Amino acid sequence: MQTLDPARLREGNSSSRPPYFDGTNYAHWKVRMKFYIRAQNRFLWDAIESGYTPPDKPLKEYTAEEIKIELSNDQAMNHLFCALSENEFNRVSACQTAKEVWEKLGVHYEGTMQVKNTKLRILEEHYETFRVGSDEDIATAITRFTKLLNEIKNLGKNYDQETSVYKFLRGLPKEWDAKKYAIQSAQNLEITHLMHCVES
């Protein structure tokens, strides 16, 4: 009989369990958790993005809309707490809103806005100077480039597909010039189709 890996039990790869976070690979977890919460209820994600301030009155005087907003915050916090290991939960257990939980984890693992901006500038420089090594396997280069794009996106900046493909093509060694011009003339310039174009 096959035994289950405890790590796989912790990791939520289903629609009913949030993705598990134990302090490793925060950028990966952040993207998955965002879409997990949005898929549960868009109001829950709004509670994280917009924040929540409880009305200054007894609960029995809340309007139906105020109850709905508070419930969204509570549900969002519950999803976040259920996704965290004990150590990560202890880091944010005193937080009162889902937005506070999300931002506290973000500051801890990504740094303050100043730190994020510094990281983004460094990654943008890597993007602008991207080159494929003459002895580098093309699949490895595409994976490296895609990872760079994802890291930049996680810090809040997006490059459109066509611009990114042109940037990758400009980074190819000179011996790829003929293939480069053929790809540039194609109508579908997307990263997902780049491997097929290069190998064709």
Which amino acid, residue 187?
Q
pLDDT value, residue 137: 82
Q: Model pTM greater than 0.85?
A: no
> What is the rounded distance in angstroms from the CA atom of residue 47 to the CA atom of residue 52?
6
Identify the pLDDT of residue 23: 93
What tens digit of pLDDT does each residue of 148-161 get?
A: 999 998 888 888 88
The values of phi and psi at residue 14, to 5°, are -135, 165
**pLDDT(3) > 50:** no
Residue 187's pLDDT band, with cuts at 50, 70 and 90, is low
In this prediction, residues 122-136 reach a mean pLDDT of 92
64-106 confidence digits (pLDDT tens): 999 999 999 999 999 999 999 999 999 999 999 999 999 999 9
Question: Mean pLDDT over residues 16-26, rounded?
Answer: 92
**DSSP one-letter string for 33-93:** HHHHHHHH-HHHHHHHHH-----SS-GGG--HHHHHHHHHHHHHHHHHHHHB-HHHHHHHT
Taking 70 as the threshold, does the pLDDT of residue 8 lie above it? Answer: no
CB atoms within 10 A of CB 119: 16
Contact 92, 104 (CB under 8 A): yes
Average pLDDT in the 123-128 region? 95
Question: Band of the pLDDT at 165, cuts 50, 70, 90?
Answer: confident
pLDDT at 161: 82
Tell which residue, 151, 147, 145, has the closest CA to residue 166: 145
C-beta separation of 198 from 172 below 8 A: no
The amino acid that residue 94 corresponds to is A
Q: Check whether 143 has a pLDDT greater than 50.
A: yes
Per-residue confidence (pLDDT) for residue 126, from 0 to 100: 95
State the chain's mean pLDDT as an integer.
85
pLDDT value of residue 15: 64
Q: What is the pLDDT of residue 21?
A: 96
